[in-house]
Amino acid sequence: MGTLGSIKLALNALWVNKARSLLTLLGIVIGISAVVTIIASGEGVQQFVLGQIQSFGTNVMAIVPGGSEGERIGPPAAVMGVTVTTLTIEDAQAIANPRNVPDVVEVGMASDASQAVVTGREGDIFVTIYGVSPAYFSLSSMDFAEGSGFSEDDVKIANKVVVLGSTLKEKMFGDEPAVGQRIKLRNYRYRIVGVLESGGSIFGIIDLGKFAYIPVTTAQQLILGVNHLSEIMVRVTSEDRIEAARADVQNLLRERHDTTDPKNDDFTIRTIKDALQMIQLVMGALTLFLAAIAAISLLVGGIGIMNIMLVSVTERTREIGLRKALGARRRDILGQFLLEAILLTLIGGLLGFVLGISGAFATAQAGGWAFHLSVAAIVLPLAMTVFFGVVFGIYPAIRASRLDPIVALRYE
């Protein structure tokens, strides 16, 4: 029989039981759409995250308080929400000394964050107050739209000056210049010395424009009442020097903190490379998780297909008997039912593909990353559906092909 005729025959058989075919397809539809979404979104998210991280520069490392298990990959205590008080301004100053760390270019500091409420033109604004040193702005690739920020001297004397995020500035002053004005944060009035360029968010969730940056010493003394840091950022001369600098910083801090056993480190050093590694690890785990869901869905869907094909073979026993009596060989019958199973999964795969692409497009729009359809996202699901069609269609098809025509012809 011609290929076209076979396909027409198979489609006819599926069309006769439209509702049943459609319900059978659901598992495949969900599975394939999950696969497509994973592949299509995964790439977009990865590009997006890598881009964000690389904007910080590849010659930068961060030191956070508290040790971390599992060398460079496990989360340090500070990230897990535990306050660790082992990192100080003196530590940062020691790192900044070229005699200790020859490759150092600049060192930035940051305190813990705290919250305040200020009165804007259209009501109250929740502000996150962050104590930093001047180098923090350049280390974080933040540029000034107005003014130029505060100086090392402001840090030294714990001056009451502030740099505003763009959103905050706009809500308080509109288009008018803000530098030179004063705002009240908690109980003190601060002189505005700079406004940051707009833009910037932490993965699209936290708006950096609502931050108010004050000297790190001011934050420690007037707001937090502590003398430890939450982060020290270090820029070194170049990307290749980062591992050498890491070792220098590590030795310096161990010496300063009287630690000999690396297991007892009370700080964690992270480079961009670590961050990339971590992100890839997280992405990998997430992808694996979604892939597992997709695989289970495909498996269930595939078993559904096998089930419905077995039902179909039983229902059409007489038809099979007749075809064999009239000269169909085993492989004709096998081909007929296998083709039916493959077409069934292929239709499911197609529906799932459309659904998955739409899903990936929607998440890309919502997440703000570029929608990108790769060859893998098209070929892999297609290959998978054909594969599943064959795997789950072959058993019913073999059953059909082996029917004894005498028995089959008399089947009621």
Partner 1 sequence: MAAAIIQLKDLTKSYGKGLAETRALEGVNLTVNSGEFVAIMGPSGSGKSTLLHILGLLDKPSLGQYFLDGRRVDHLSENQLSDLRNQKMGFMFQAFNLLPRTSALENVELPLVYRSGLRGAKRRQLAELALAQVGLSQRSNNLPNQLSGGEQQRVAIARALVVNPQVILADEPTGNLDTKNSIEIMEVLSRLHREGRTIILVTHEKDLAAYAGRVIQLRDGRVESDIYQGNQHPLTLAATWAP
Q: How far apart are CA 328 and CA 333, in angstroms?
A: 7
Alpha-carbon dihedral 352, 353, 357, 362, rounded to 10 degrees = -10
Q: How far is the CB of 9 from partner 1 (least distance, A)?
A: 9
Residue 12 interacts with partner 1 (CB under 8 A): yes or no: yes
CB 171 within 8 A of CB 125: yes
**Which of 16, 23, 285, 379 forms a contact with partner 1 (CB under 8 A)?**
16
Q: How far is the CB of 328 from partner 1 (least distance, A)?
A: 5
CB 130 within 8 A of CB 149: no
Residue 318 interacts with partner 1 (CB under 8 A): yes or no: yes
Rg (CA), the chain: 32
Residue 329 interacts with partner 1 (CB under 8 A): yes or no: yes
Q: How far is the CB of 4 from partner 1 (least distance, A)?
A: 9
Q: How far is the CB of 319 from partner 1 (least distance, A)?
A: 6
The CA distances from residue 293 to 38, 46, 53, 401, in Å, are: 11, 20, 29, 34
Q: How far is the CB of 10 from partner 1 (least distance, A)?
A: 13
Residues 121-160 that bind partner 1 (CB under 8 A): none
Nearest residue to 170 (alpha-carbon basis) of 209, 144, 137, 130: 209
**Which of 299, 332, 359, 380 forms a contact with partner 1 (CB under 8 A)?**
332
Q: How far is the CB of 320 from partner 1 (least distance, A)?
A: 11
Residue 2 interacts with partner 1 (CB under 8 A): yes or no: yes
Q: What count of residues does the chain have?
A: 412
73-110 in b/e form (b: 16+ CB < 10 A) is eeebbbeeeeebebbbbebbebbbeeebbebbbbbbbb
Site string for partner 1, 270-309 (x = CB under 8 A): ----------------------------------------
Residue 405 interacts with partner 1 (CB under 8 A): yes or no: yes
- The count of other CB atoms within 10 Å of the CB of residue 12 is 10
Q: Which residues bind to partner 1, rule: CB under 8 A? A: 1-2, 5, 12, 16, 318-319, 321-330, 332, 405-406, 409
